[in-house]
Structure 1
Amino acid sequence: MRRILLFLGTNIAVLLLLAIVCRLFGIDQMAAANGYGGMTGLLLYAAVFGMGGAFISLALSKWIAKRSTGARVITQPQNETERWLVDTVRRHAQSAGIGMPEVAIYDAPEMNAFATGMTKNSSLVAVSSGLLQQMDREQAGAVLGHEIGHVANGDMVTLTLIQGVLNTLVILAARIVGRAIDGWMSGGRDENRGGGGIGYFVVVMVLQVVFGLFASIIVAAFSRWREFRADSAGARFAGRGAMISALQRLKANHGESTLPNTIAAFGISGPLADGLRRLFMSHPPLDERIAALQNSR
């Protein structure tokens, strides 16, 4: 329940902030006049809500991750395991040429880890208690290298840019097509009316869902590709054998994850699917990732 309330509260806060930005800069008035104030007004409206929402989510990602998982940041290692964890992350970060991330542990039974943050030098790397308990040091070190690879590759920012651009295009396309369909359905009677008829709003909502599904497929495809690249980074930092061993050990998770939906795509592994649902998978099957490493040179 706490995660659901946090998710809803964050999204409401994002919408309120965007609404205030639109009001302060007059974008809402521009968008309302003459059907979003022409193409310029519509584009501004779509960009503010599409790009703005994505980047606000990125800016809040560390805060959301810590509170939704209950992650405890290690400010001063309390035992040998925590010292090893911090030292390993520091070593990988130095090898990658990035700033030292915050290191955290969250309580979860499955083997998992994630990285997030606004920039390469202001990131968070967190591992589950289950991973520390069920993996040996070599395997866990490879997982940490994988997460550092995400940070060094700028995957969080790139994913946000892709999501933001696609959000903007979805908002823009839904309204352009929606106005065309509404004009056709009304026989042109509403073409001089700025807000459009009820049919326009219904069509726009339906189109945003449809176009949003196609956008999700593109985002998921990039997410799967970045996992292969992060696996390569883990192999580079900790050794290919260690990374392969870690992925083989992860198969014991059986696709289980307690990560909230807001950060599930940032985990070391994700749930499997078949058929058309494979298009929406954020992670490739572990067997494919293992094969890619085994075939790499």
Structure 2
Amino acid sequence: MKGSFFKRITLFLLTNLAVVAALGIVARLLGVESFLARQGVGLNLPALLIMSAVMGFAGSIISLLISKPMAKWSTGAHVIDTPRTEAERWLVGTVQRLAQDAGIGMPEVAVYDSPDMNAFATGAFRNSALVAVSTGLLHGMERDEVKAVLGHEVAHVANGDMITLSLLQGVLNTFVIFLSRVVGFLVDRFLNRSEDGEESAGTGPGYFLTSMVLQIVFGIGASLIVAWFSRRREFRADVGGAQLVDPNAMARALNRLRMQQGEPSLLPSSMRAFGIRGEGMMALFASHPPLEQRIQRLVDGSWRN
């Protein structure tokens, strides 16, 4: 629910960057960017914006469409077509009931081999998503806590978090590509002038080098926005899990994460039990809010506000 979600978001972002980079290379090989920087006229801003939007949204949409197969491949998740054990039957039945309560289509249900207690949900469409749990979670937690985790993941699907993330990433990609090219053009115009005084910019090495470096720098800045968005949506998924199942079970599940990491429990002894894995990332780049905040919201009831 946390570590796996972080890995999934990282995989999504890396795929997005790879697609955008590939499209940028193709555009340069085809001479598109040279056409946009017309010598003696200046930078064709409307055309550049259109190209940036096409490249930016293509990267995020392709990443979204392949998110399910990439998640299965990266975790080795096995989709349960026909439940073979009582635990698998319970798992599929629970996801089915939660999906009905949330008003979404039945997701694919998968299990992947990992001792860590974790789960994730992904997919391009609300009615054909994927919900996967680790063997550590399925066999190491009580049923009501596992159900709370599943409610959290189903809430991610019902809230359309991956779709919204992709749209946000597409917008950010657009501005990253656009601004990096504009600044690259200005730098190249300053560095590269023809002997007769006529500006010749947008075709020299200064343009390509500057735009490449700035695309990385601006991309890092964009990742901060994506991380902030992810933290907000995680709170919403906690609310969804609390509404679909039980806020106390959700809090106990999160508390187990802290104890799994060797941190002290934040709950009274009567509530100390189970968890979902967390991560120690720098605050600004963290895809999840601190576990302390998430648990506190569930315990004091502020999640209802």
Do the two structures share a fold, i.e. TM-score over 0.5? Answer: yes
Written as runs of structure 1 = structure 2, the 5 A alignment for 1:28-47 is 28-35=30-37, 38-47=44-53
State whether residues 33 and 194 of structure 1, in contact with CA within 8 Å, keep that contact through their aligned partners in structure 2: no
**Farther-moved stretch of structure 1 (194-203 vs 63-72):** 194-203
Structure 1: which 5+ residue stretches go unaligned? 256-267
Answer yes or no: is 1:235 the counterpart of 2:242: yes
State whether residues 193 and 199 of structure 2, in contact with CA within 8 Å, keep that contact through their aligned partners in structure 1: no
Distance 1:282 1:11, change over 3 A: closer
Distance in 2 (alpha carbons) for counterparts of 1:22 and 1:146:
41
Distance in 1 (alpha carbons) for counterparts of 2:75 and 2:194:
52
Distance in 2 (alpha carbons) for counterparts of 1:288 and 1:108:
26
Between Structure 1 and Structure 2, whose CA radius of gyration is higher? 2
Distance 1:12 1:54, change over 3 A: closer
Distance in 1 (alpha carbons) for counterparts of 2:136 and 2:113:
7
The match for 1:271 is 279
Cα shift at 1:20:
11
Written as runs of structure 1 = structure 2, the 5 A alignment for 1:1-297 is 14=19, 18=23, 28-35=30-37, 38-186=44-192, 192-193=199-200, 195-254=202-261, 269-273=277-281, 277-295=282-300, 296=302, 297=304
The match for 1:265 is none
Distance in 2 (alpha carbons) for counterparts of 1:103 and 1:147:
11
State whether residues 28 and 45 of structure 1, in contact with CA within 8 Å, keep that contact through their aligned partners in structure 2: no
Cα shift at 1:15:
6.3
1:1-42, Cα deviation, whole Å (9 max, x unpaired) = xx9xx99x977984698589979xxx9555431417712321
Distance 1:13 1:170, change over 3 A: closer
The one-letter code matched in structure 2 to 1:213 is: I
Distance in 1 (alpha carbons) for counterparts of 2:82 and 2:220:
44
1:135-172, Cα deviation, whole Å (9 max, x unpaired) = 11010000000000000000000011111110111010
Q: How many residues align?
A: 274
Distance in 2 (alpha carbons) for counterparts of 1:114 and 1:236:
18
State whether residues 50 and 168 of structure 1, in contact with CA within 8 Å, keep that contact through their aligned partners in structure 2: yes
Cα shift at 1:286:
1.0
Identity of aligned residues (%): 55
Distance 1:284 1:213, change over 3 A: same
Task: Tell me the TM-score normalised to structure 1 length.
Answer: 0.83
CA RMSD of aligned residues (A): 3.0
Cα shift at 1:66:
0.8
State whether residues 16 and 60 of structure 2, in contact with CA within 8 Å, keep that contact through their aligned partners in structure 1: no
Structure 2: which 5+ residue stretches go unaligned? 1-6, 263-275
Cα shift at 1:250:
2.0
The one-letter code matched in structure 1 to 2:134 is: S
Distance in 2 (alpha carbons) for counterparts of 1:90 and 1:243:
19
The one-letter code matched in structure 1 to 2:279 is: P
The match for 1:262 is none
Cα shift at 1:48:
2.1
State whether residues 192 and 201 of structure 2, in contact with CA within 8 Å, keep that contact through their aligned partners in structure 1: no
Task: Tell me the TM-score normalised to structure 2 length.
Answer: 0.81
1:169-194, Cα deviation, whole Å (9 max, x unpaired) = 10100010111122123357797546
